[in-house]
């Protein structure tokens, strides 16, 4: 009898997975914040430079979409694969008009930083992305009613991947910034602002956060092209410092915010092991980008960027880790999505992403009684 019940339970679980993950009668939504690592076309809808867009050939070159979409990839990016695994449709940009945002929205903007001054005027910074989310929540309240909107926001998953541009654009090439701040001081500035935005989302009702670390910024093709193929030690150090501080931040937030749940993804280590042993993970080329010019095709000229009309494009982007000077191929993004979902690799802590889309499994993984709630959770406000 017990075995029969277990079998029935397994069948019911399978039916839930096949029909989309449902909590309280609603599919779990996905909201995405960040930069070009997760942008699915936001910058198509703002006034920005060509360097901060990817809505032209050869972006989208692998043919999945049939045309460039604004994703900084030869095809899909990690949120697309996560949506697929969660049996959700592709999550559209928030700024795209006349689309269905009932399953979530992507606010990420290529070139964006945690700090408002990073590529200011050319991108949608994190603070503005969060403000856009707050506006969307108000629309949900009007459409669904306050109670249903509150439930939906609480059950949703919040994917945040940002920080690289603050260091690559806002600090490392800026001698004035380096005179004003030590590396540790600038990192604290970035992490402090990131913490503030996470807590605003929390105040709006968000509870399930997926945070990505930054990659090894010193070893990107765009950096190797400028350093005779070696990694830039100062950029690598900042990456490690940021990632360490990010984990500490999440641990601290867990200790003070009631029912705050997080997953941290170690993108640095995820990419490093593939760079060191590409064949093990299905890649032939781990250092040279598919699209660009110069050493490692690391000069940022893909598609005619930076006024350079001629550039080189590899014959098969699927076997490259890097599509252009700073962005990974769809092959890498697919592995990111699968790794996050299954959570069996030590780069995903403390639990697999699929648990965030299954409320019953989540309660088994995380029991958090007795915490003092610090943040205000009534109202969705940055104040």
Which residues have a catalytic role annotated? Answer: 36, 324, 327
Distance, CA of 168 to CA of 153 (rounded, Å): 33
CA dist 113 to 38, 198, 268, Å? 13, 14, 18
Of the candidates 160, 159, 154, the residue with the CA atom closest to the CA atom of residue 194: 160
Residue 58 preceded by cis peptide, ω within 30: yes
Long-range CB contacts (within 8 A, 24+) of 270-274: 270/335, 270/336, 270/339, 270/345, 270/347, 271/215, 271/216, 271/321, 271/328, 271/332, 272/216, 272/219, 274/321, 274/332, 274/335
Please give the backbone phi and psi of residue 328, each rounded to the nearest 5 degrees, phi first. Answer: -80, 160
Q: Helix (H, G, I), strand (E, B), or coil: what is residue 328?
A: strand
Give kind and range of the element (H or E) at residue 22: strand 22-23
Q: Percent helix, strand, coil in the chain (nearest 5)?
A: 45, 10, 45
Of the candidates 328, 327, 333, 332, the residue with the CA atom closest to the CA atom of residue 51: 327
Q: At what angle do helices 183-203 and 233-256 cross, to 10 degrees?
A: 40
Where helices occur in the chain by DSSP H, the ranges are: 2-18, 78-85, 126-144, 146-155, 164-168, 175-180, 183-203, 221-224, 233-256, 267-276, 330-342, 353-356, 359-365
Distance, CA of 37 to CA of 161 (rounded, Å): 7
Which residues make beta-bridge pairs with 380? none
Distance, CA of 187 to CA of 94 (rounded, Å): 29
């Amino acid at each position: 009898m017990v075995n029969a019940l277990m079998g029935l339970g397994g069948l019911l679980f399978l039916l839930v997975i096949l029909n989309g993950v449902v909590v309280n009668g609603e599919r779990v939504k996905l909201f995405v914040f960040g930069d070009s690592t997760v942008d699915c076309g936001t910058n198509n809808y703002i006034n920005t430079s060509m360097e901060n867009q990817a809505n032209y050939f050869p972006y989208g070159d692998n043919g999945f979409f049939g045309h460039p979409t604004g994703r900084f990839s030869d095809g899909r990016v990690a949120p697309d694969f996560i949506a697929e695994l969660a049996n959700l449709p592709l999550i559209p940009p928030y700024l795209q008009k006349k689309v269905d945002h009932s399953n979530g929205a992507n606010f990420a903007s290529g070139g964006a930083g945690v700090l408002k001054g990073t590529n200011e005027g050319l991108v949608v910074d994190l603070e503005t992305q969060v403000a856009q989310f707050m506006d969307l929540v108000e629309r949900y309240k009007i459409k669904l009613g306050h109670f249903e909107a509150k439930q939906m926001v609480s059950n949703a998953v919040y994917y945040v991947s940002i920080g690289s541009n603050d260091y690559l654009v806002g600090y490392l090439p800026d001698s004035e910034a380096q005179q004003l701040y030590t590396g540790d001081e600038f990192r604290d500035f970035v992490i402090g602002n990131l913490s503030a935005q996470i807590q605003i989302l929390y105040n709006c009702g968000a509870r399930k956060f997926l945070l990505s670390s930054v990659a090894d910024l010193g070893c990107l093709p765009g950096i190797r092209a400028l350093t005779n193929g070696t990694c830039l030690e100062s950029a690598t150090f900042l990456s490690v410092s940021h990632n360490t501080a990010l984990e500490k931040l999440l641990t601290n937030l867990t200790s003070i915010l009631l029912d705050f749940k997080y997953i941290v993804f170690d993108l640095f280590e995820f990419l490093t092991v593939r760079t060191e042993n590409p064949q093990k993970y299905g890649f032939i080329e781990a250092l040279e980008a598919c699209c660009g010019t110069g050493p490692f095709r690391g000069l940022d000229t893909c598609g005619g960027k930076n006024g350079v009309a001629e550039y080189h494009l590899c014959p098969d982007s699927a076997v490259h880790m890097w599509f252009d000077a700073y962005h990974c191929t769809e092959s890498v993004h697919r592995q990111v999505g699968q790794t996050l979902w299954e959570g069996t690799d030590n780069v995903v802590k403390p639990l697999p992403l699929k648990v965030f889309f299954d409320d019953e499994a989540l309660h088994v993984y995380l029991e958090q009684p007795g915490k003092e709630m610090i943040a205000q959770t009534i109202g969705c406000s940055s104040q």
